[in-house]
């Protein structure tokens, strides 16, 4: 049985805005990671690990996984703390 994880990707360190992080991703887990003897990279004969499916909602990803009999794990996104700070606060302490 195929195993996958469903998660909402984090923004990269170079992104300042919140655009393009509203998608949910279904990514398959590798079954047998091996080390490539020539280059030392991690490789696998399992081609499902190269596949990442994007969905607009978490429910669509779950429905797809259940329909195709994929064992899945859901990783909920962490909530972001927004601290309002004024520029003047830099000079008050």
Tell me the C-alpha distance between 40 and 14, whole Å.
29
**Is 17 among the domain residues?**
no
Q: How many domains does the chain fold into?
A: 1
Give me the pLDDT at residue 30, please.
77
* CATH number, domain containing residue 56: 3.30.160
Give me the pLDDT at residue 48, please.
81
**Is 15 among the domain residues?**
no
**Is 50 among the domain residues?**
yes
Q: 0.85 cut: is pTM over it?
A: no
Q: CA distances (Å), 66 to each of 2, 6, 28, 62, in order?
A: 11, 12, 14, 6
Positive or negative: CA dihedral 30, 31, 36, 40: positive
**What residue numbers bound the domain in which 35 lies?**
3-9+22-92
**Is 81 among the domain residues?**
yes
Per-residue pLDDT tens digits for 18-67:
666 789 999 998 777 788 788 888 777 777 878 899 999 999 999 999 99
Per-residue pLDDT tens digits for 67-81:
999 999 999 988 878
**Is 46 among the domain residues?**
yes
């Amino acid at each position: 049985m195929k195993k996958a994880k469903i998660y909402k990707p984090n923004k990269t360190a170079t992104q300042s805005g919140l655009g393009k992080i509203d998608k949910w991703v279904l990514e398959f887990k590798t079954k047998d990671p091996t080390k490539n003897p020539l280059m030392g990279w991690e490789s696998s004969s399992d081609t499902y690990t190269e596949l990442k499916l994007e969905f607009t909602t978490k429910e669509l990803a779950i429905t797809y996984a259940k329909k195709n009999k994929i064992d899945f794990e859901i990783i909920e996104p962490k909530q972001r703390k927004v601290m309002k700070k004024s520029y003047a606060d830099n000079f008050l302490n």
